[in-house]
């Protein structure tokens, strides 16, 4: 008994993290490695798998549909995330002051974030319907022209950005609100005594005070937006044609509809490096500030 317990004592630093390491290996490392191995095969699900080396990567690099997918992924992410940041800052500023019914309003504004994405997407798909949907009714009430929304190629991604912004701005607001409440109120008092306007104290006190929180929110949202699947797939399936087909949606179709598992795995490796690249870049920005 004694020897066993002393062995445990001596090796506690390896033993205690072991369950966590095992979980990481089983849930993260193993699938990534399997995915990489799969990407070296030409495997039509239901047929035989042929080892083809890097052929899938060669094909992906010259496949116009892959480039279209990468373009759409960036277009979607870098339109949606800045927009959400602006809306999120606005909401956070609003909730950083006291007004009656604040608690209730805060709960309501968080609802889009906690609702089921597929349910949200189905409702938006109905709302976007050019003939029967409520969005065109709103436009007409405002005296504007009816729109085709997701049914028109060049409006598909902007429409999806609208949904994503509606859904995720509250999360940015939540992160920034927490940061804002950490900015000491003395700073604002001093600024007021010095005669600073509201805009000046926002620009020179609030923003510098929450800068690192902004970067964190950006990283979280950007990484998530690059991988967005549910709302795009449910509302447009990547259409019309391939107008809103992101890399993730293309990989899904390739794997689960066209059943080319090897090629789909290759596309997912592309996506992984894309997400990794953006995350590393934003993290570098964070470290510099």
Min dist CB 32 to other proteins, Å, is 20
Quote the tokens at residue 242: 């391939």
40-66: burial string, b at 16+ Cβ within 10 Å, e else: bbbbeeeeeeeebeebbbeebeebeeb
Site for other proteins, rule CB under 8 A: 42, 44-48, 50, 128-132, 146, 148-153, 237, 239-242, 253, 256-260
C-beta closer to other proteins: residue 151 or 183: 151
Name every residue whose Cβ is closer than 8 Å to that of residue 150 and which is 6 or more positions away in sequence. Answer: 125, 128, 156, 159, 160, 235, 236, 239, 240, 244
C-beta closer to other proteins: residue 151 or 205: 151
C-beta closer to other proteins: residue 252 or 270: 252
CA distances in angstroms from 178 to 18, 52, 93, 258, listed in the order given: 34, 51, 11, 45
Min dist CB 119 to other proteins, Å, is 14
C-beta closer to other proteins: residue 209 or 239: 239
Min dist CB 272 to other proteins, Å, is 22
Decide: helix, strand or coil at residue 260: strand
Min dist CB 241 to other proteins, Å, is 4
Tokens 């309501």 correspond to 108
Min dist CB 248 to other proteins, Å, is 16
Q: Answer yes or no: are the C-beta atoms of 52 and 263 closer than 8 Å.
A: no
C-beta closer to other proteins: residue 221 or 253: 253
Min dist CB 47 to other proteins, Å, is 7
C-beta closer to other proteins: residue 84 or 248: 248
Integer Cα distance of 189 and 168 in angstroms: 33
Integer Cα distance of 174 and 54 in angstroms: 44
């Amino acid at each position: 008994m004694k020897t066993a317990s002393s062995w445990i004592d001596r090796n506690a630093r390896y033993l205690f993290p072991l369950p966590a390491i095992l979980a990481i290996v089983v849930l993260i490392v193993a699938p990534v490695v399997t995915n990489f191995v799969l990407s070296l095969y030409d495997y039509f699900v239901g047929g035989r798998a042929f080892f083809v080396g890097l052929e899938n990567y060669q094909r992906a690099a010259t496949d116009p549909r892959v480039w279209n997918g990468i373009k759409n992924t960036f277009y979607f992410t870098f339109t949606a995330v800045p927009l959400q940041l602006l809306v999120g800052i606005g909401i956070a500023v609003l909730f950083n002051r006291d007004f009656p019914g604040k608690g209730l309003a805060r709960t309501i504004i968080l609802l889009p974030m906690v609702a089921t994405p597929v349910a949200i997407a189905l409702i938006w798909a109905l709302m976007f319907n050019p003939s029967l949907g409520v969005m065109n009714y709103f436009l007409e009430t405002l005296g504007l022209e009816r729109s085709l929304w997701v049914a028109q190629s060049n409006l598909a991604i902007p429409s999806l950005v609208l949904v994503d912004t509606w859904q995720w701005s509250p999360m940015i607001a939540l992160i920034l609100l927490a940061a804002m409440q950490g900015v000491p109120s003395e700073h604002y008092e001093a600024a007021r005594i010095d005669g600073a306007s509201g805009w000046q104290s926002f620009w020179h006190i609030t923003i510098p005070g929450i800068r690192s929180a902004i970067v964190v929110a950006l990283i979280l949202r950007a990484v998530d937006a690059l991988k967005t699947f549910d709302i795009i797939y449910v509302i447009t399936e990547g259409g019309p044609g391939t107008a809103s087909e992101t890399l993730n949606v293309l990989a899904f179709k390739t794997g689960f509809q066209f059943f080319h598992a090897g090629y789909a795995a290759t596309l997912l490796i592309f996506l992984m490096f894309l997400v990794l690249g953006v995350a590393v870049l934003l993290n570098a920005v964070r470290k510099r500030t």
